[in-house]
Structure 1
């Protein structure tokens, strides 16, 4: 019932306002409506003081228009009664006789003062603030939208929160645009009030003299007082609405209401209150000044300053007690020892002078690491363990260390106040020469203020956080197999089962256990094969497991199922550039295959291995000299063993089987052939 009443209250009110403009209103009803108008304006003003941010009162522009229309309707109704009956109810009568003492001059002066305050001071200022606020809000809107998108892409907020923040930005722009227009209503209302008063005075005197035969003095006294009373009962609510407009457009977003915020901020300086209190007391002793009011005000300010001092001292004691309690040594428990023993999967250790890059801001190391974990999850198909970041006093200055399971796997430097410039023309720049830790590029750590100068030389400029995050990304990619735990495999398997239960039910716990699945997935990750398409991988494994559960065969079955995705990683404009193996050499390598507990191995003499590796290196060098990156292709049975043979010696060249390389819609270009005698045919 209440909800339905709230829905129709405003439409009914607008219809009532329309009736005020058309139908004569009895004086008692007009008294009630005038009181409602005054109270409504007061409620709106108080509401603007207690809201924490302007958007909490987003209905204000529309409410301002309705209130203005209501006031104009009351003006029409009261004018009809004043000119028609010479009486417009007790409220207007009281304002005309009691509020201004029945004096036309006093009433006129009071009314003019109210008009000047509203029109010249409040309305003009509110209009300008609303105009500037709308302009600044609209100008800042693209930047706010970009900031939201950046936070979303970095993983700092969810899609739901991003939509909510975008809606708030849009609502804020709409609100200030509406306020810019609504302020014109306030200005127009003030002008209308003056015109209505003039019309009522002239019309009242004319009616009194011409229709009612009143003397000019009696007509002026009667109708002018009623008109002034009518003007006061409408201008006072209009002034309150004008102040409300200025209040709402000058409010900034805060955590507390205006009164609480003003009290805190006015009382934040004890010295200011003491000086003001002393100045007030001194001014009281100026000859002719009333000393008692000045002394009372000054004493009040000094007392408030002393109370602030006591509050500050108490807050300081509480802070000291809290700090002592936090820093107090506590007995070491078994849980503390166990926590200290725990080995974290991933760690970033920072020298003490590097802790400034962990600031908690949206672009600091922690935020970038969070975004990196999300990116790797999307690219590789597994969730990177949380990265523990802490300082280490044992590290040299400006040094960071990357650890996996407590073992250091990477180290680099990121000097404070420096940026890394990578390029060929850095000799003219001051700084320390270095080697970029991921790609091995020569660079120089130059002062941050030299960024523009470094960019002018054509150098690539990288900030310290990007250096650390790029190094961490390479370490995670190279060690993805070590980071994939059995618990991760269980979580991934459960997620597949939720959408494709048949693929999981046919595979685990029989014929493959979680540990065997972990080994297969680790084998794929060790060759940088994404495991995003787990459903397809599990389907291929379930078919292969019916024949054999040999890990190498399972991995190859999974790779064959992912063939198009594997070759797509190495395409260059739709072309896959490959290095082939001479058929005679390939046949001899296949004949040398022997199964071992660590997988198949190629057992040939060292000279032949050296010859093959040398020929492969020459083929790769020739390809790179032409600006191409190539992959090595071979027979499916040979691929696992050949990959083990060349991965450690030829900088990890990708090795694909013929099945993986020969997929539809791919052009294959042979850029080299590996031969036994080191010859290279291109």
Structure 2
């Protein structure tokens, strides 16, 4: 048996769903079936109440889409008003000869009180109201709806492209992008519907004139021919009833026309209409000239001083009060729509974006769509390029402003950890010292945030001079994007997880289903595959040839229980893939090697602590890092790629030791270099230091085996 609360909820839902069909049938019944005057009175008051409610909702809406049902509501309210006109016409023509109360008290009140019983005044009042409604409000609202619909439809493709760009740049999540697309489509439908709905109001005004004419002519004819009234009595009675009936209908029509005009002329804002008006009129600079002009008019001869001068004093006092508040830092801005800020959700504690760029307020122009959003375009290009190079989709980059940062500061975070921070100047250019500068340029000397090179921030008018002097000149978005690019490359392992591993497996199932079947779930589970991929990314090995990596894993399946040994075995099997990421196929591999004595020391250290993360003693580690740095400095200064080559047993430990100091320098073992690959030994690191290019020139084929 269903619980009582469930039954009540179902009954309530059914009742709500039945309201609109019942009201539609009632409107049709009003047009066909004769009803007593009391029903007409209730219908007229309900019509006025509904029109007032619609007007209030329209005025309180912060943006047009908050009242997206308005076109349909306008249709049904117009039908209700017309059905009441038809019903009242029937009552007026049938029982109008009995007196002014025959058509109900509401029509009688409008006919006697509002127009003071004077039918001529009533006709003119009705015509004025109808002209205001039809010619001024309805025509203007219809034109605004037409233009808005046209512009909205024309802008629809651009808005969709902007949403896609924001999605690619990480400004919004896929769910937010879906909601935004739905909002854009709803906006286009809304303005298109409003363009047609405005015709309802126009048609209603025309119908009001026709119904008024029918009531007057038909009433006089029936009153004189059927009910024996004199022409004067019939005219007085039926014209008053017709005017009262027309005014009863035109008042709600005028309210709905105002609501329609208010909706289509709104500009999207966090505030409602009252809030917008209050915020924009609450400035002393607007009221000071008003007070001065009214004061001048008040002292002119012949002006009504007792009216104009108090108005000048009132506006002057208002301007003084507003000025006083502005000086004290108090600005009259209505509060935004109330939010339940006291409620904290789990979603508030979660950082959705693995990558983010936080910018100071002076850099907001770099992401402004009106200026082309140059930073967004570069970030999108970086994500696309790195996704191809790394072999997995680089996650969205969230760009947001942070008021806690200095105006020109930007900050890069990866998985919540700050990986970069520096200062850029959006209107200037960074001139990088290429090492061959003819004459220095004037500017703000800094270090390049990405590689630490000497650089100078120069103004736009000195850009050509810097290029001529030999500098490499880049703009601020390029500086940030380059810094982000390097941060992603270095931190690629932190961006790869089990979900990304699953995507690689799914792609492998399509291209090599049998290989995928032999890889997982046995002998390798998804966590083991993800861990191996992360370890490869940590050492700069891309995953774009995952098929080859998967084959190497299958061939190394006996080592599945030992992740370190598995990692080394896979590296040896994909050595050619690793080497080709360092230098092109036809170029020799520049290498820094270790002399036999140092290799022996490393081997002895590994025998003492084979499972240690850092098995080398601190003194040896320090000398080794310094020696490698001395040997690598010329190569890094010339931006040349190279590798450090050591024995297979020492490779992993040496890589962990050197990675914090040389994050982009690969450490290879002899077994990872193909037999056909030429090697150019640029330096040999020994236990006492570096022996440079004396051992450098092995240009032919070289086998480390």
Global fold match (TM > 0.5): yes
- CA 1:541–1:50 in structure 2 vs 1: closer, same or farther (change >3 Å)? farther
* 1:47 aligned residue (49, 57, 67): 57
Q: CA deviation at 1:176?
A: 0.3
Distance in structure 2 (CA, Å) of the matches to 1:74 and 1:506? 71
* 1:309 aligned residue (323, 331, 336): 323
Q: CA deviation at 1:357?
A: 8.3
Partner of 2:477: 465
Distance in structure 2 (CA, Å) of the matches to 1:390 and 1:435? 24
Contact map agreement 1:281 1:294 (CA 8 A) in 2: yes
Q: What residue ranges of structure 1 are gaps of 5+ in the alignment? A: 319-345, 421-428, 438-444, 446-461, 571-576, 582-591, 600-635, 650-673, 678-682
Q: Cα deviation per residue 1:25-78 (whole Å; 9 max; x = unaligned)? A: 100010000000111111111111100000000000011011111111011000
Contact map agreement 1:400 1:412 (CA 8 A) in 2: yes
2:269 equivalent to 1:254: yes
Point out the more displaced range, 495-504 or 17-26.
495-504
Q: After superposition, where does 1:159-558 map in structure 2 within 5 Å?
A: 159-268=174-283, 270-286=284-300, 289-315=303-329, 359=366, 361=368, 363=373, 365=375, 368-369=378-379, 372=382, 376=386, 379-380=389-390, 381=392, 387-391=419-423, 397=444, 401-403=448-450, 408=451, 415-417=458-460, 432-433=467-468, 464-466=476-478, 469-470=481-482, 473=485, 477=489, 480=490, 483=491, 488=494, 492=497, 521-523=537-539, 525-526=540-541, 528=542, 530=544, 541-544=556-559, 553-556=568-571
The TM-score, its normalising length taken from structure 1, stands at 0.65
Instruction: Give secondary structure in 2 for the equivalent of 1:315.
Output: coil
Distance in structure 2 (CA, Å) of the matches to 1:60 and 1:245? 8
Q: CA deviation at 1:120?
A: 1.1
Distance in structure 2 (CA, Å) of the matches to 1:275 and 1:579? 79
- CA 1:160–1:414 in structure 2 vs 1: closer, same or farther (change >3 Å)? farther
Instruction: Give secondary structure in 2 for the equivalent of 1:432.
Output: helix
Q: Cα deviation per residue 1:328-355 (whole Å; 9 max; x = unaligned)? A: xxxxxxxxxxxxxxxxxx99999x9x98
Distance in structure 1 (CA, Å) of the matches to 2:234 and 2:300? 50
Q: What residue ranges of structure 2 are gaps of 5+ in the alignment? A: 1-10, 97-101, 333-354, 396-413, 433-442, 506-519, 589-595, 604-668, 683-698
The TM-score, its normalising length taken from structure 2, stands at 0.63
Partner of 1:128: 143
Contact map agreement 1:102 1:225 (CA 8 A) in 2: yes
Distance in structure 1 (CA, Å) of the matches to 2:151 and 2:365? 32
Q: Cα deviation per residue 1:236-283 (whole Å; 9 max; x = unaligned)? A: 111111111111100010111111110111122x13313323433443
Contact map agreement 1:552 1:640 (CA 8 A) in 2: no
Contact map agreement 2:295 2:309 (CA 8 A) in 1: yes
Partner of 2:39: 29
Distance in structure 1 (CA, Å) of the matches to 2:571 and 2:560? 12
Q: CA deviation at 1:554?
A: 1.6
Partner of 2:650: none
Partner of 1:646: 679
Distance in structure 1 (CA, Å) of the matches to 2:200 and 2:331? 54
Instruction: Give secondary structure in 2 for the equivalent of 1:390.
Output: strand
Q: CA deviation at 1:388?
A: 2.0
* 1:19 aligned residue (14, 26, 29): 29
Distance in structure 2 (CA, Å) of the matches to 1:84 and 1:506? 85
Distance in structure 2 (CA, Å) of the matches to 1:79 and 1:522? 85
Q: CA deviation at 1:580?
A: 12
Alpha-carbon RMSD across the aligned residues, in angstroms, is: 4.8
Q: CA deviation at 1:297?
A: 2.8
Point out the more displaced range, 287-296 or 302-311.
287-296
Distance in structure 2 (CA, Å) of the matches to 1:9 and 1:157? 39
